[in-house]
Structure formats: C-alpha cells, structure tokens
Structure 1
Amino acid sequence: MVHLRHLTLTLTLWKDKMHIWANSAANKNIGQLQLGTKNDVVRIKRLLQAVYHPRNYYLLNLDLEALDSERLELAKYVKLDVVMREFGNVKVVGKSDLVTYKGPTMLASMLHAIAVLLKVSKSWDWFINLSASDYPLMTQDDILHIFSYLPRDLNFLEHSSNIGYKEFSRVRPIIIDPGLYHLKKSGVFWAKEKRSVPASFKVFMGSEWVMLSRSFLEFCIWGWDNLPRTLLMYYTNFLFSLEGYFHTIVCNHKDYQNTTVNHDLHYIKWDNPPKQYPINLTLNHFEDMVQSGVPFARTFATDDPVLDKIDKEILRRSHGRFSPGAWCVGTTTLGKDPCIVYGSIDVVKPSAVSRSLEKLIGKLLDTENFRSAQCK
C-alpha cells in the first residue's frame, strides 16, 4: 500500500537527484504488450524500435485476423536482430486468439499477455499496454529514470465511479462477444434484457490504457481473493470491458484502492463531442504533445510525418534503428548503429524531456491531489 509519508519522501528526493544518472541495478523495469492486427507488422516494428531497452520485457501479439505469414515475419525479425537475440527480452505470441474490440476477448487477450510476462520474467515492475497506433514521446532512459524513484505498487489508470450516461450504455446492457465462440470476426450481439447496477461492488470506468504494478497483476491473475474472478464473469457480458475491469478491481479491494494514480499516461485528442475513436495526431499537435509531459501518445496514422519529427527531435532515432540510450556505446561514424555495441544496461542518461514527466508525476502525487483523485 502506498503511504503519503513515503510519497513525500520520494518527492523530496526528486529535488536533489532527479537530474543525475540513475545507475543502480535496483532500478525499475517495465513489461510491455504491443497489440496489433492485420497489416500492422511495419508499425509494430517501428514502435518496438522506438521503445526498446534491454532492461524491459516485450510481448508482441498480432490477433487472429492477422496472417500467419505476418506473425512469422515478426518472429523472424526478433530472432535475427543481434541485440534482441542477445538479451532475449522480446517474445512473439505464436498462437493468437480472435479479438472483438468492443467485447471481453480484448480483455482476455490482455490477461493472457500479463500471464505470459509473469511467467517469462520475475524482474519487471509495471505492465503497460500499447497498440500499433501508439508512439512514445520520450526515450526509455527518461521513463526508466523517473520511475526508478517511484514506489513499485503505484497503479496508473484513469478511473471514476461517476459513469453518467454509461450506466445505460455500458452497465445495464448485456452483450455477447462472438469471438468467444467463433473464428470469424464480427460485431457483438445485444441481448434484449437489461441488468441492474451491481450492489455488491461499485463499478468504475475509465481509459483502457493503463500502467499497472506487478503486485496488483499477480493478484488479478493468481487471485488469492475471489474478486478478480467474480468481476471477470461480470465483465464477460460488458461492452468495452477493458475500460472497467481493472478499474473496478483496484477500487473495490482495500489492499489496492490507495495505490491508484488517476492518469493513463497517454496524450489523446478527441472530437467534441467525442466519437468512438480519438483524433489521429499530426504535426499540428507536436508542441502540445511535447509540453504535456506524458510518455506516450495515440493515435497515429501509419508513417505520419509527425512520427519522423518525434524520432528526430525527441528520440534521436534513425530509420530502422533503436532509440539510443546510455546502454548504446557504439559509434555512429560511417552510418553505424551505436546500439550494436552496448555497455551496462543498468545505466540510464535522462534528457531534458524527462523534466516534463517529473513535473507531471510530481503534480499527480502531490499530497493535496493524490488521495482526492483515488477511486471516487
């Protein structure tokens, strides 16, 4: 459980240490799911190159709609890359399931990924889900540096019990996901009956993009309490179940409800009034994205020019290469990739961009804001 005293100490330490190199092997690591579908191989490769760091763990998952040849191409890319083969920290799901975007199969796919990452590594501290249309707004050195100062049990997820109209569009309707029964993708089915709002637990909803702690996810997967399984059955018939499952668990259990940080760590723009999908980000949004202090943004169209600008001005990444970090000690002369030669993976060198994330986290964890935004 996160204590305000601990957070106050953490914030005090930031003032003195935030801009030095964090070079301890005890620094935190992140497990990442990158989810794509048919024709997403190029985007998944680019995203992986942009967010890769030897200390993290990555699971690449193309859903059943993607061709087997695409999965094979992705697996070959990972296997043949010198750096990823050396560290062995990137895995590709070989047998994928059908995913219905509005249905619980989306949640099932994510739970599967979490279970795999829990099995393949005991050293990651947080899990984050990304799609092929996501992209980082800062380097992994910047992100790992800031998170190295945070308590490991924090859970970043936008959430609220003030669901408004969603009571009638999400909570009361009953849906059936055909992906649970068929191999051909189609929309969800709607039942004629409605159900009442649950009385044994409070429903919370929010963004499907989360950064969750390992301890909380072990509870969700291995659940020594029955709450995760009970809610999994409830959300099986829930529209957009990924927008409520983890949020409802974390806020209905006394061991985790005080660990929440009410933010999804993504820069997202919506129409007014909002439509089903967010606006594709362009060069017009670049300055606002940079100033936001969040580590990720979505959604981006394939090869939009703004991605090249992010690569050049923020990530310092050349086409087809990893975003360089302190672990990359090779030379760039004659067009060489500096990450082919690597040093200690426990050393990170944050850039000035990390200060915007520092400012955002500091605001979110401020003693006047932290508790008031939790599970309300």
Structure 2
Amino acid sequence: MESVRIAYFVQVGLDSVPLLPRLFERIHHPENVYVVHVDAKVDPATRSRIADLVEADERYVKNMHVMESEMVTYKAISMVTNTLSAMTMALEKSSNWHYFINLSGADYPLLSVERQMSLLARPHVPIGRLNFVTFFPSKEWKPYQFRIRNMHWDPAAVGYQSEKSRLRLIRSLRENPLERHRAFVFTKAEAWMILSRPFVAFVVRSAFAKRMLINHMHVLSVPEHYFADVLYNHSFWRKTIVPDALRKVVWYLRNKRSGQHPFALDGGSTVMSRWEYIATTRSLFARKFVKPDSELMDAVDLRQSGAGLNASDPRVDDFRKDRQIFHNRIVRHFDMLTKKSLELQGYSAPRGAFSSSY
C-alpha cells in the first residue's frame, strides 16, 4: 500500500476560529475524511461562518462533516465524550480510513497531508497494528494520582449550558470511592493521538472501554488519561502502543514551565523567535499557533512541509534540500519507533521494508 487514508478530527474553540481556513487548506485531501466540532460556547454567528466555510467549498462538502455543537469543558470528561462522538461519526461516514488523528484548531502540519498518508503506509507497518500515544515515563505516573483520587465535576456532562461553564473540583473529606477499588493502572500521556481504525472501533463499542469511561467520569485532565488507560490496561492493545504521537508541544521555554496551556510557538518577541523548536522536531504537527497566516506558518510550508507553495516563487527551489532533510529525519524516527514496537509484538518486517527511499 502506497498510502493510507486518515480520519482527522478538529476540535475548535473560539480562540482558534481564525486559524481554520488555512488549517483546512493544509490538511484536506479528497481520499480522507474530516470531522469538525465547534464548541457550543462559540457564538452562533461564528459557528454559522464555519459551517459556511465548509459548505461553500465543493472539496470540503464531499468529505468534511461538521458535528452538532455541544458544550465541552476543558480538561474534563466532555472532551473525551466529544472525541468519542467524532470517532463514531468517522466510522459511520467512511469505511475506508485506516488511522484517526485528533487535532485542535491551533495545530499546524509540519508534513504535507500526502506525506503523512505515505509515512503511515511504510512497508514494514501492517495496517491497524499500531497506535501512537506519547506516554510519560511510568515512574512519573504516580504524582498524577490525585487526578483520579479527588473527584471533579464537569458541568457540560450533566447538561449545564453556560458560556461560563468551567470544570469544578468537588471538595470532599472523602476520596473517590472508586479509587480504593481500582483494578487498573492509571497512566499519564499527552492528549494527542494517532489511533488505528480497529482500536477506534474498540474504544467506541466495547464493554471494556465503556467500563473504563465510567471509571474516568470524575478525573481531572481526563483526555490525558482515558485513551491511554484503555490502551495500556488491555493485554492485546498494550502491545500496539508506539510511545510517540509525533506532535510537537512546547511546555518548557528557557527552563520555565508554561502552566496550564503550552507556549504559543508564534508568541515570542518576534514571529520567528521560536522557530528552533520546530526546525529540530521529528513530528507531523506542532501546536499551538495563535496568529493566522503568520510568517512562522509560511516558514513551515517553505522549509518543511512543502504544502501550499507557489511554484513560481524562487524560494521553493532554494529550500528543496531543507524539506527533503526534514522528511528523511521524520522517516528515520518513524522507522525506529515502529520497528521496536513491532518487534515487541513478534512481528517480522518484510525484506527491504526499511528502504531509505521516501
């Protein structure tokens, strides 16, 4: 197989709305499927503009689907249930895709969509055998136990509809009564994933995943735990884990932690001042971006992805070598990661599968 087909899910909040036109342009491909959700806290007029953006473009109408808006609380269970709804829609709308990639509106591709489709179809990677999630080292999981030990309430999960909806910590002298009887390992991972279609179907439909969802109902920052916990705590799916979601997120800048949200890559003293974090990565996407059509996005297109370039621009040839070097670096990293995971499964790659050609 020369390329796979991908289901992209874009979760949109108010701050990322101005970034959508360019993001859609960069990730769209006629053979893929796209599911878009706009938070119900975004005003109706803006939600209508996004729907119009899709409906007015005949390319998007064919394979881009806008979900009915619902309230989503940051860091809470409604983010997970919203993702599960998107997975269900992707499964229903197309039987042809192989991988599911979740995005926010503030993500931007470092590799063109065609290259992403080819990379995930590398000849040594059997379709449906791998799931890419960036797990923290296991020794770092314990400090996050308070997230499941203490109970948290998600207003959106109980139907509370307000633009001021926020996650609220339930103050109690008792810990979560489920915690003392917990029979699974509570892991810690990033919330961004590349998941195989078989696993997506499992997490949407299986009794195992539904029981795990109940156990995560009151967990803080649950998108960083639920899908990772389903993978890790199931004997079959654990063997499919590749511990890197190929996403560049900057949490530390000059030895300072960003806090609740990652640093904006285009938020430095100049637009290009944080280019080094993108230039040295081996990821398919980076986040977060806050400035639409910025010089930094132009640099990504020109020096890395090659997407959206004007062939008449003389700089296209000037940076051709840079783009190839970046592509090759990602391929080597991808091959190293996947080879190790497949060996743990006892899978032997076919002869010549690790050819350097790309």
Deviation at residue 206 of structure 1 after TM alignment = 0.6
Distance 1:198 1:365, change over 3 A: farther
For 2:145, the aligned partner's letter is: E
Higher RCO, Cα 8 Å, sep 6+: 1
Q: Which ranges of structure 2 fall in alignment gaps of 5 or more residues?
A: 267-271, 313-322, 346-358
Deviation at residue 74 of structure 1 after TM alignment = 1.8
Post-superposition Cα deviations, 1:47-91, rounded to whole Å, max 9, x if no partner, equal: 111111112111111110112222222222222213334xx1111
Q: In the aligned structure 2, how far is the partner of 1:197 from the partner of 1:296?
A: 39
Q: In the aligned structure 1, how far is the partner of 2:152 from the partner of 2:341?
A: 40
Q: Alignment partner of 1:367: what SS?
A: helix
Stretch deviating more after TM superposition (270-279 or 148-157): 270-279
Q: Alignment partner of 1:256: what SS?
A: helix
Matched, 1:268 2:252: no
For 2:282, the aligned partner's letter is: G
Q: In the aligned structure 2, how far is the partner of 1:51 from the partner of 1:351?
A: 19
Q: In the aligned structure 2, how far is the partner of 1:251 from the partner of 1:57?
A: 27
CA contact (8 A) 1:281 1:298 kept: yes
Matched, 1:244 2:244: no
Distance 1:69 1:205, change over 3 A: same
Deviation at residue 352 of structure 1 after TM alignment = 5.0
Distance 1:351 1:144, change over 3 A: farther
Matched, 1:281 2:257: no
- 2:156 matched to which residue of 1? 179
Q: 1:313 aligns with which of 303, 307, 313?
A: 303
CA contact (8 A) 2:79 2:223 kept: yes
Post-superposition Cα deviations, 1:182-212, rounded to whole Å, max 9, x if no partner, equal: 1013222222131335541111121001111
Q: How many residues align?
A: 316
- TM-score normalised by L of structure 1: 0.78
Post-superposition Cα deviations, 1:235-273, rounded to whole Å, max 9, x if no partner, equal: 111001111111111111122110000012111111334
Deviation at residue 291 of structure 1 after TM alignment = 2.9
Q: Percent identity?
A: 24
CA contact (8 A) 2:38 2:69 kept: yes
Q: How does 1:13-92 map to 2 (within 5 A)?
A: 27-38=3-14, 40-85=16-61, 88-92=62-66
For 1:215, the aligned partner's letter is: P
Q: How does 1:29-178 map to 2 (within 5 A)?
A: 29-38=5-14, 40-85=16-61, 88-93=62-67, 95-149=68-122, 150-152=125-127, 153-160=129-136, 161-162=138-139, 163-168=141-146, 170-178=147-155
For 1:277, the aligned partner's letter is: H
Structure 1 residue ranges (4+ consecutive) displaced by more than 4 angstroms after TM superposition: 368-372
Q: In the aligned structure 2, how far is the partner of 1:72 from the partner of 1:102?
A: 26
Deviation at residue 290 of structure 1 after TM alignment = 3.0
Distance 1:229 1:300, change over 3 A: same
For 2:291, the aligned partner's letter is: T
For 1:91, the aligned partner's letter is: H
Distance 1:280 1:41, change over 3 A: closer
Q: Alignment partner of 2:135: what SS?
A: coil
Deviation at residue 369 of structure 1 after TM alignment = 9.9
Matched, 1:362 2:351: no
Q: In the aligned structure 1, how far is the partner of 2:343 from the partner of 2:275?
A: 29
Q: In the aligned structure 2, how far is the partner of 1:60 from the partner of 1:199?
A: 34
- 1:338 matched to which residue of 2? none
Q: Alignment partner of 1:212: what SS?
A: strand
For 1:183, the aligned partner's letter is: Q
- TM-score normalised by L of structure 2: 0.81
Deviation at residue 145 of structure 1 after TM alignment = 1.3
For 1:187, the aligned partner's letter is: R
Distance 1:355 1:65, change over 3 A: same
Q: Alignment partner of 1:109: what SS?
A: helix
Q: In the aligned structure 2, how far is the partner of 1:66 from the partner of 1:237?
A: 25
Q: In the aligned structure 1, how far is the partner of 2:343 from the partner of 2:43?
A: 45
CA contact (8 A) 1:104 1:238 kept: yes
Matched, 1:259 2:233: no
Stretch deviating more after TM superposition (305-314 or 30-39): 305-314
For 1:124, the aligned partner's letter is: W
RMSD: 2.4
Distance 1:260 1:198, change over 3 A: farther
Distance 1:63 1:359, change over 3 A: same
Q: In the aligned structure 1, how far is the partner of 2:285 from the partner of 2:226?
A: 22
Distance 1:280 1:370, change over 3 A: farther
Q: Alignment partner of 2:250: what SS?
A: coil
For 2:246, the aligned partner's letter is: L
CA contact (8 A) 1:364 1:370 kept: no
